[in-house]
Copies of this chain bind each other. A is one copy, B any other.
Amino acid sequence: MLELRLVQGSLLKKVLEAIRDLVTEANFDCSGTGFSLQAMDSSHVALVALLLRAEGFEHYRCDRNLSMGMNLNNMAKMLRCAGNEDIITIKADDGSDTVTFMFESPKQDKIADFEMKLMDIDSEHLGIPDSEYQAIVRMPSAEFMRICKDLSSIGDTVVISVTKEGVKFSTSGDIGSANIVCRQNQTVDKPEEATIIEMQEPVSLTFALRYMNSFTKASTLSDQVTISLSSELPVVVEYKIAEMGYIRFYLAPKIEEDEEMKP
């Protein structure tokens, strides 16, 4: 039996909205340690990994490991029916082909049960090794979202270049070109507005803006985003989920101009 009670239910709503643009069907994996998901997007170019640790739930009961295949659009339809202040409980019986989302209003005067059919989804779990990165940029998530959106009106790809002084985002297209430079900036009084660069060596990599824009849907989950870059590795775009875990997006850099993404 599975019963996960999350007082801050709006977190789960935000998680789903963050993922849903990229992935439409996925297995959620429950174990004693937490509630997680790993999935490729439909074109098998980007990978998303979610972790919500058991400790972050008010009540967490998972008698045995369980993998639940869900249609994320249907799940989103149900979660949108939860109020932003509601407590959400995820429930499933062993061997059942349904999952139940229970929403309780803060005053307990409204209780909703939404039961959703599960589905069988083939998936293989990729082991993602811990890696060293040439450069790690931490910056306001709203700023990163704005930059990706702005550059999309000019071009299709973004070149992210990191030096000691700052990080530069560049694009070009039919109507012209654009460069946006964010300088390192450790504002002491407002840590959520800081831009901090940890650099081993300068790095410059090209990515499809379409995916970056999808990743930034997770900006509602965290004030800050961390972008980890190395020439030989997929970029990691990470949004921490306070006291619970993270959403991480992985995307391989484009190699040479106009060449297709390699897995």
Contacts and interface: CB of A to CB of B under 8 A. Distances in A.
Interface of A: 71, 74, 77-78, 80-81, 98, 107-117, 143, 150-151, 153-154, 175-183, 185, 195
B153 A81 contact: yes
A109 to B, nearest CB: 4
A164 to B, nearest CB: 15
21 contacts: A74-B175, A74-B176, A77-B175, A78-B153, A78-B154, A78-B175, A78-B176, A78-B178, A80-B150, A81-B178, A108-B183, A111-B181, A112-B178, A112-B180, A112-B181, A113-B178, A114-B176, A114-B178, A115-B176, A115-B178, A116-B175
Contacts of A178: 78, 81, 112-115
Interface of A is mostly: strand
B143 A176 contact: no
A170 to B, nearest CB: 9
A40 to B, nearest CB: 23
B180 A111 contact: yes
Nearest to A71: B175
Contacts of A179: 112-113
Contacts of A107: 185
A182 B109 contact: yes
B195 A153 contact: no
Given A109-B185, A143-B110, A185-B109, A80 B175 contact: no
Contacts of A115: 176-178
Contact of A180 (B98, B110, B117, B151): B110
Contacts of A113: 178-179
A153 B108 CA distance: 23
Nearest to A178: B114
